[in-house]
Amino acid sequence: MIYKVISKKEFTGFVDALVHSNRSFGPKQVATDHRGNAVYQFQPVHSVADIAFDYSATASSAKHFFLPFREELSHFHFHGNDWEQQISYEANPVVLIGLRACDISALNILDDVLLNGHFPSPGYLARRKNSFVIGMDHLPLPDCFCKSMNHHTVTTGFNLFCSDIGDHYYLSINSSKAFNFLREFETREPNYDDNCMLVERRKLIQNGFQTDIDVTALPTILDIEFDSPVWEKWGDKCLNCGTCAMVCPSCYCYSLTESFDTNLNGASREKKLYSCNLVDFAVVAGGHNFRPKNGDRLKYRYYHQHRGFAENASQQICVGCNRCGRACLAGINPKDVINDLRMEKESCMTCVSSSPRKI
């Protein structure tokens, strides 16, 4: 990694040059919610003025540039009894500006699943390789808990990462592309003051977290609490809408559907992102549902994110952005659910310890 410092004005020029002739996406305010807070989304941007560099967090994550909601995997052209199958792995280059550290961490987790597994996914790889990712750090929101998940900093998976140090950006350059583009702009080597400012900035972020989830031994606790009434309690609130998986930056479950073209000469196989909270997620042909109750499905979501994935990939799938908590219509958020589970254990501890820890 190479470090440079660029003034904010020069950086604006750099982004402008980048945005000018490339398909670019950056955070934009699209609406305000019922509390009057701004709602941001990654939207197409055409000039640097469009980009809200001081945004808080986007409602949807950046995964949809790599895993679209809906994507045609292959197309069949029928000729009599036979057919021809077309699969394209092409991806248009895209510039993503202003991703948060947790968004980039989520992409790294997706890389782990979709590229390093038994069966790498060529479509995802094409998109991932044809992207130019500029990350930006930010001060944590009141409900972010990425520090608990250890995703408040990121060291890989981006081309360029900007840390705000007053009137300059401290750049972490992680690819030759970014390095070459920056040659055209005025940058300087970081000096002692810049380094101090970066450390200060990191500390400010580190100490800014107001929400904390204790994930110590969470896989074990999830195992022990598998039949806990906590799941039923939260499951009863769940509306099975699947919003949590849609906004999650690292959820990747999907469903395949095939449909004939209207002229019946062809058919297409489509991949649609799915959610494990939808009722028919685990229904097999014949009608047997392996997870019939709301609580079962909610439990499965937490179980996969914090237990199953942790076992297979030695990290938890959750990055702690709390998008699911913000988006949930029923007010379910990971902090409350996990704390509830832990409380369950700690109430058992009361018999041995006279002063149970307050949560």
Site for other proteins in 48-107 (CB under 8 A): 73-74, 76, 78, 81-83, 85, 87, 89-91, 93
DSSP string, 291-316: S-SHHHHHHHHHHIIIIIHHHHHSS-
Calculate ∠ Cα 222-246-238, nearest 5°: 55
Q: Considering beta carbons, is residue 41 or 181 the nearer one to other proteins?
A: 181
Q: Taking a C-beta distance cutoff of 8 angstroms, is the pair 297, 281 a contact? A: yes
Regarding 20 and contact with other proteins (CB under 8 A), the answer is yes
Q: Considering beta carbons, is residue 99 or 144 the nearer one to other proteins?
A: 99
In the block, tokens 């499905």 appear at: 297
Contact with other proteins (CB under 8 A): which of 233, 258, 347, 349?
A: 258
Contact with other proteins (CB under 8 A): which of 34, 35, 36, 129?
A: 129
Q: Rounded to the nearest whole angstrom, what is the least distance from the CB of residue 105 to other proteins in the complex?
A: 14
Q: Rounded to the nearest whole angstrom, what is the least distance from the CB of residue 351 to other proteins in the complex?
A: 27
Contact with other proteins (CB under 8 A): which of 72, 184, 193, 214?
A: 184
| Residue span binding other proteins (CB under 8 A) among the ranges 18-26, 46-54, 235-243, 351-359 | 18-26
| Residue span binding other proteins (CB under 8 A) among the ranges 42-50, 193-201, 268-276, 342-350 | 268-276
Q: Rounded to the nearest whole angstrom, what is the least distance from the CB of residue 233 to other proteins in the complex?
A: 18
Q: What is the footprint of other proteins within residues 290-319 (CB under 8 A)?
A: 290-291, 296, 300, 303-304, 307-309, 311-312
Q: Taking a C-beta distance cutoff of 8 angstroms, is the pair 212, 142 a contact? A: no
Structure tokens at 138: 């930010």
Q: Rounded to the nearest whole angstrom, what is the least distance from the CB of residue 130 to other proteins in the complex?
A: 5
Contact with other proteins (CB under 8 A): which of 32, 37, 47, 130?
A: 130
Q: Rounded to the nearest whole angstrom, what is the least distance from the CB of residue 176 to other proteins in the complex?
A: 6
Q: How many CB atoms lie within 10 A of CB 24?
A: 25
Q: Rounded to the nearest whole angstrom, what is the least distance from the CB of residue 331 to other proteins in the complex?
A: 25
Q: Taking a C-beta distance cutoff of 8 angstroms, is the pair 99, 133 a contact? A: yes
Q: How far apart are CA 57 and CA 59, in angstroms?
A: 7
Q: Rounded to the nearest whole angstrom, what is the least distance from the CB of residue 13 to other proteins in the complex?
A: 10
Structure tokens at 134: 């500029």
At residue 309, what is the residue type? F
Q: Which helix (H) or strand (E) holds 8?
A: helix 8-20
Burial of 232 from C-beta contacts in 10 A (0-12 / 13-18 / 19+)? middle
Q: Taking a C-beta distance cutoff of 8 angstroms, is the pair 245, 328 a contact? A: no
Residue 18's alpha-carbon distances to 113, 195, 294, 315, in angstroms, are 30, 27, 47, 34
Q: Rounded to the nearest whole angstrom, what is the least distance from the CB of residue 246 to other proteins in the complex?
A: 14
Q: How many residues bind other proteins (CB under 8 A)?
A: 78
| Residue span binding other proteins (CB under 8 A) among the ranges 27-35, 117-125, 136-144, 319-327 | 117-125
Regarding 252 and contact with other proteins (CB under 8 A), the answer is yes
Q: Taking a C-beta distance cutoff of 8 angstroms, is the pair 174, 160 a contact? A: yes
Q: Rounded to the nearest whole angstrom, what is the least distance from the CB of residue 124 to other proteins in the complex?
A: 9
Calculate ∠ Cα 131-137-143, nearest 5°: 110
Q: Considering beta carbons, is residue 52 or 278 the nearer one to other proteins?
A: 278
Contact with other proteins (CB under 8 A): which of 34, 118, 357, 358?
A: 118
Q: Considering beta carbons, is residue 112 or 346 the nearer one to other proteins?
A: 112
Q: Regarding beta strands 187-188 and 168-173, do their DSSP bridges make them parallel or antiparallel, or are they unpaired?
A: unpaired
Q: Considering beta carbons, is residue 169 or 303 the nearer one to other proteins?
A: 303
Q: Considering beta carbons, is residue 13 or 208 the nearer one to other proteins?
A: 13
Q: Which helix (H) or strand (E) holds 95?
A: strand 94-99
DSSP string, 206-262: HHT-------TTHHHHHHHTTT-HHHHHHHHH-----HHHHH-SS---EEEEEEE-T
| Residue span binding other proteins (CB under 8 A) among the ranges 3-11, 36-44, 55-63, 124-132 | 124-132
Q: What is the footprint of other proteins within residues 217-246 (CB under 8 A)?
A: 223, 226
